[in-house]
Amino acid sequence: MKKLVLAEKPSVGRELARVLQCFRRETGFMEGDHYIVTWALGHLVELAEPAAYSDRYRRWSLRDLPMLPPVLQQEVIESSKDQYAIIKGLLERTDLESVIIATDAGREGELVARWILKLAGYQGNAQRLWISSQTEGAIKEGFANLKDAHLYDNLYKAAESRAAADWYVGMNVTRALTCHYDAKLSAGRVQTPTLALMTRREDEIEAFSGLFYWTLKADFGSFSASYYPEEDSIRITDEATAKRLEAELAGAQGVVASLETEEKFEQPPLAYDLTELQRDANNLLDFSAKQTLDVLQSLYEQHKIVTYPRTDSRYITTDIVATLPQRLKSLFGTPFASLALRYVKDGFRVDEERFVQDLQVTDHHAIIPTEQAVDLSRLNAEQRALWELIVVRFLEVLSPDYRYRTTTLKAEVAGSRFKTRLTLPVEQGWRDVARLVGKRSAQTSLSDEEETSPVLLALAKGDPLHIESVKVRRLATVAPSRYTEATLLSAMEHAGRFVDDAKLKKRLSSGLGTPATRADIIEKLLQNHYIQREGKELVPTPKGRELVRLAPQELQSPELTGLWEERLGNIAEGKEDGERFIKDIKENASSLVDQVIKSGESFSPRFPDAKTCPYCKSPMMRVVDDIGQNHYLCQRLSCSYEEMEIKKRVRSNSATLPPQKVVVKAKPVAADGTKKRVVLKKKVDKKEPLASFSLPDDEPAPSYTWETVIEVVRPSKLSFRKETREHKDTGGWKSPVSANHLVDESPIAGGSFADFLKASEERKKRDREKKHR
């Protein structure tokens, strides 16, 4: 009898097969004497589309909302059906003893495996592999300590409840917004509040009116000090006061009011979780959140030199402490060798009060190096840069405190207070790690101050002082900064600070989304054209701002996801029943749909560089694709016209002729539905082949010009109708308030970007088939 091991990805499956000595390769699995190893391709099974419950859901209509099937069904993803069939066949083998679930050790990994087993009808024994790294030692130890799969039943219930809740709310609200406003709009419990964070910041920037303030700094000869009108502020609020002080204090006499010296220390930073690593990689390496996760995943799966990436913990458990020396030894063949060797020989810091926290680790501990020896020649530039960031932080965690001495001088001059500070390091501690290995630390120090002369150490309280000169500077308050991926990840992680209610703040301790999903949320907002990148900044588009304006208020706030995550956590711990949660979610979805339908607003984004749609006269949004070409997209779903600007180099007969603009438009089909295909051929005389070509000496070289060609990417739906209603150009359009409004050729998978893209591809396929008939 054999055991079937179900991994989440082929790369992980192949590594498990190697360790388990499954060397016979078959299509979709590998087999050995005792084990069969197969794999999913991420998710093989998903929740069924609305059309699976009723034919009337095939078309999007307000009259059919809300869609609340009593029980949600699962179905195989079309692109993955072959691999699913292979797994189902393996589960039906007569020599199968049991199944070992080896998908990612977390809530979503549990869902991947359980849905496959559920749809395949498997009722046999099951065990769970739970590991945090892909090294051979970790895999062998994990298989030696397999757990009963039933111990993770509550985790599966929480995952399934999360998926069902997202279906009920996402499907219903997306269809309601799309049908009611006749525009491609999608909403969700994480996507919408995340977008709202950025749109509110943009509103703050636009409403910001800067104020001037002044600062005053006095030169005391051997040092300089700043004037403090208040205890903790150097700002002077009006110019007259600044000018008066400048005149009064120049050449004035004063004394040292106080001189205090303190010894302080800074503890090392904690190790990385995924969000913290994505933040630092964005700041230091210009990596996007998605790029960081992808590179990190390759370091974990392919090279096996870092631990599990999708973690929300910055701590390790007690059992990991014994492995730290071996993890240091894995660095011996790298630029970190000298410091790692010193720590192995002389010992290192193990902060059991801060870093070793069993209760702070949920599914997985912090991201740290594994015991696998590192071969830098196998890493590309991105992998090496990210790995070095992780190793520097790992070594900093194991280092002593940074200790420093700070001397603060306060001076009194003609009744005015001045202050300056001198900071001198006593022991560099963790701050020395980056310097010793020639790298840059991502952690800034709290003690970094403006440099001041060490002459402060020679002064004493009561010593006379003389101001030699005074300098006044005029400054202005700064508008709030737009979000970058780094700051947005921080805002999503600490979403509780945007909520006033104390209880909800506590519920939002885990933030918006999870470390594993935040990168995908940002990418989805970009793909849907709700936000765009401008350098490192993420800027909401007019379409994104309009969506937030129209979305139900409850969906815009982080409070909703805070409530959900608290209850999902309770389900995972067995403290709450999932059925009660789903009942409440259905009521919530109905309420949200009702709010959208009753809205009297219209979807009217104001695009600064818009064109007018030639069919429906509404504004078209400009989008720049990956190769820099301009696309113009009509925002009315009932029209959906899209065109693209293409620059072509053409030969010019005369250099004096101005470039011509050529417009290519989709022509309507003849009434009989027939199309003609014209092929032009150039006749070549076979008797006199053209062997070579050159310009006569007296003929000038040809000149070229660039012409802009407009190419139709997607014809308007209105162009295929016999009668087209006239639309007035009002800068927007009124919502179709009729509850019976239907949207033709609508996507049927919940309104996400992938769904819209899928529907678009299907339309293009139908268009191609028509052309070849």
Q: Determine the pLDDT at residue 50.
A: 95
Of 427, 367, 371, the C-alpha closest to 399 is: 427
What spatial distance separates the first Cα and last Cα of the chain, rounded to whole Å?
55
pLDDT bucket at 259, cuts 50 / 70 / 90: very high
Q: Looking at the annotation, which residues are catalytic?
A: 308
Phi, psi of 236 (to 5 degrees): -105, 125
Mean pLDDT value across residues 299-311: 92
**Is the pLDDT score of 126 beyond 70?**
yes
Q: Determine the pLDDT at residue 680.
A: 44
**Is the pLDDT score of 296 beyond 90?**
yes
Q: Determine the pLDDT at residue 494.
A: 83
Of 371, 368, 390, the C-alpha closest to 439 is: 390
Of 334, 452, 349, the C-alpha closest to 400 is: 349
Angle at 570 between CA 567 and CA 575, to 5 degrees: 125
For tokens 């925002």, name the residue.
Answer: 635
Q: Determine the pLDDT at residue 380.
A: 96
**Is the pLDDT score of 452 beyond 60?**
yes
732 compared with 381, residue with greater pLDDT: 381
d(CA 92, CA 69): 31
Q: Determine the pLDDT at residue 750.
A: 41
Q: Determine the pLDDT at residue 512.
A: 84
Of 98, 119, 94, the C-alpha closest to 4 is: 98
**Is the pLDDT score of 686 beyond 60?**
no
What tens digit of pLDDT does each residue of 320-330 get? 999 999 999 99
Mean pLDDT value across residues 447-470: 82
Mean pLDDT value across residues 14-19: 93
pLDDT bucket at 298, cuts 50 / 70 / 90: very high
d(CA 597, CA 188): 17
Q: Determine the pLDDT at residue 673.
A: 43
**Is the pLDDT score of 709 beyond 50?**
yes
Is there a contact between 660 and 707 (Cβ–Cβ < 8 Å)? yes
Of 615, 585, 611, 568, the C-alpha closest to 715 is: 615
Q: Which residues are registered as beta bridge partners of 202?
A: none
d(CA 226, CA 411): 10
What tens digit of pLDDT does each residue of 38-94 get? 999 888 999 999 999 999 999 999 999 999 999 999 999 999 999 999 999 999 999
**Is the pLDDT score of 768 beyond 50?**
yes
**Is the pLDDT score of 766 beyond 90?**
no
**Is the pLDDT score of 109 beyond 70?**
yes
**Is the pLDDT score of 726 beyond 50?**
no
* Residue 667 burial by Cβ neighbours in a 10 Å radius (0-12, 13-18, 19+): exposed
CA dist 73 → 48, 53, 64 (Å): 6, 9, 19
Mean pLDDT value across residues 221-227: 92
The most confident of the ranges 398-402, 646-650, 695-699 is: 398-402
The most confident of the ranges 400-404, 497-501, 690-694 is: 400-404
In 535-589 the beta strands, taken as DSSP E runs, fall at 537-540
650 compared with 422, residue with greater pLDDT: 422
Is there a contact between 258 and 410 (Cβ–Cβ < 8 Å)? yes
**Is the pLDDT score of 723 beyond 70?**
no
pTM over 0.75, yes/no: yes
pLDDT bucket at 652, cuts 50 / 70 / 90: low
Q: Determine the pLDDT at residue 764.
A: 63
744 compared with 160, residue with greater pLDDT: 160
d(CA 484, CA 588): 32
What tens digit of pLDDT does each residue of 554-563 get? 898 888 887 8
Is there a contact between 531 and 538 (Cβ–Cβ < 8 Å)? yes
466 three-class SS: strand
Q: Determine the pLDDT at residue 283.
A: 92
d(CA 390, CA 334): 14
Percentage, residues of the chain above pLDDT 70: 84
82 three-class SS: helix
Q: Outline where 440-557 has alpha helix (H).
A: 485-493, 502-507, 518-527, 542-550, 553-556
Mean pLDDT value across residues 386-397: 95
Percentage, residues of the chain above pLDDT 90: 63
What tens digit of pLDDT does each residue of 163-199 get? 999 999 999 999 999 999 999 999 988 899 999 999 9
- The separation between CA 98 and the C-alpha centre of its own chain, rounded to angstroms, equals 38
Mean pLDDT value across residues 755-765: 59
CA dist 82 → 13, 28, 71 (Å): 17, 9, 26
Lowest mean pLDDT among 122-126, 429-433, 613-617, 704-708: 704-708
Q: Determine the pLDDT at residue 743.
A: 47
Is there a contact between 539 and 202 (Cβ–Cβ < 8 Å)? yes
Q: Determine the pLDDT at residue 146.
A: 95
Cis, bond preceding 425 (omega within 30 deg of 0): no
d(CA 187, CA 57): 19
287 three-class SS: coil
424 compared with 665, residue with greater pLDDT: 424
Q: Which residues are registered as beta bridge partners of 365?
A: none
pLDDT bucket at 448, cuts 50 / 70 / 90: low
Mean predicted lDDT score pLDDT of the chain: 85
Lowest mean pLDDT among 21-35, 204-218, 538-552, 644-658: 644-658
